[in-house]
Amino acid sequence: MSFAAPLFLWYFLPAVLLASWILPHRARNGVLAVFSLGFYAVGGKEFVLLLLALIAVNYAAGLAIGALPIRRRKAVVVATVVADLAVLAVWKYAGFASTAVHSIAQGLGLGDTRIVSLALPIGISFFTFHHLSYVVDVYRGVRLPMRNPLTFVTYIAMFPQLVAGPIVRYHEIADQLRDSRRDRFADFAEGFPRFAWGLFKKVVIADSLAPLADAAFAAEDPSTATAWIGALAYAGQIYFDFSGYSDMAIGLGMMFGLRLPENFARPYSAISVTDFWRRWHQSLSRWFRDYLYVPLGGNRGGTFRTYRNLSIVFLVTGLWHGAAWTFVVWGAFHGVLLIIERATGLGRSDRWAGPRRAITFLLVVFGWVLFRAESLPAAGKMLQAMIMPWHGWSVAPDVAMLLSGHRVALLVLVLATVLLPATWVTGRVIDGLEETPRWARRSLKAAALVLSPYAAMVAVAGTFSPFLYFQF
């Protein structure tokens, strides 16, 4: 179920809000748990049983880790982590691995091997990372295990963040889940403008750019103009789609008295790729830092080990996003850029900020081509057309047909995001988390509320597309 779907906007959300308002404060987690499982069942169907099984395993593991002597805890946490990762590996990567084995076998003349094809459970990468965060945080003693099973279900399955984040580490929200005595109507008043702002970004901006990106990437022999239009359209689509979803998730969490972590901080204003990853999908970066990069040794142990650890993290980052070689190469591309910046000191310098911001944006856009393309050869065609201008400046007919004045204005908006102040994060301004004048916050809140009816009408018209990160 999409946050931008009429079913969610007109039926599900009012129902869960009404239930949380009329029932006692202490029932909040139970209401969220029940409605969240229903939310997942609508889109995930039978995979809700897989989610429930994993919830049961990790809940029991948390209690066992909390009860056992320190010397015996490690075996439990290792077994649970292996089990969680094994489920993720089977459902998400079995097809990719079997296809690779099939290609190798054919290349060596060994005949055909079986290719596995499994449906991907919605949000499996996200709820797997929540489970891992829980058992590791309990093992480390950062937080105590949850005794109430409904509270644990709320943490794992909470519908605002269940299928596309933000990724909420257990220690970030454990205390909030135990505190349900809040002013519920004040929470709603605080959260709704942030939700409305995200809805507008998704259905009005991202979904308008989506057909343009799709048409350009579908071109068999793209010209330079077609390739650049497609790349810029996708850069705008993925940013406004994913940041819009994150704004909606954070706003929904606030409506129920829960503060989810921020996920974006003006990423296209970054002056280096290192800076970009401090601003893009921040909750994922923090998760990999705490549970992979630092346990591997981080930047301790010398230059070689630091570069090795960065390489591992970004290869895993690419694979986490999708089981395809395009994602692996995209992750490797970013990993190589970060290593170069670390070796040259560019990742720590703020000199020549203007030119470096433009260069960083171009590098990120090149990366998005790898991310979006159906295959590496298709990505190669797009990148070649972008870099070599003799591919021509005529626009493919299918793309030209979609280049309305509205979409041209949105492409200009994508470029304009590079010029905006790096410290101005609109969602945080709406929530009063940035040091900005009161009039600025009130103006943005008013704008979000005024724009929300139009965004809702667009959603009702059925012109929205699924959130991009649902596939991960």
Which residues are the active-site residues?
321
C-alpha of 197 from chain center? 17
CB-side neighbour CA atoms (13 Å) of 406: 11
Q: How far apart are CA 93 and CA 101, in angstroms?
A: 12
CB-side neighbour CA atoms (13 Å) of 358: 3
Amino acid at 394: S
Measured CA angle at 386 (ends 204, 401), to 5 deg: 45
Q: How far apart are CA 95 and CA 314, in angstroms?
A: 21
Q: How many residues in the chain? A: 472
Contact 323, 95 (CB under 8 A): yes
Sign of CA dihedral 189, 190, 194, 195: negative
Tokens standing for residue 396? 């493919």
Nearest to 251 by CA among 173, 171, 155, 166: 166
Q: Give Dmax over CA atoms of the chain in angstroms.
A: 70
Q: Is the peptide bond before 295 cis (omega within 30 degrees of 0)?
A: no
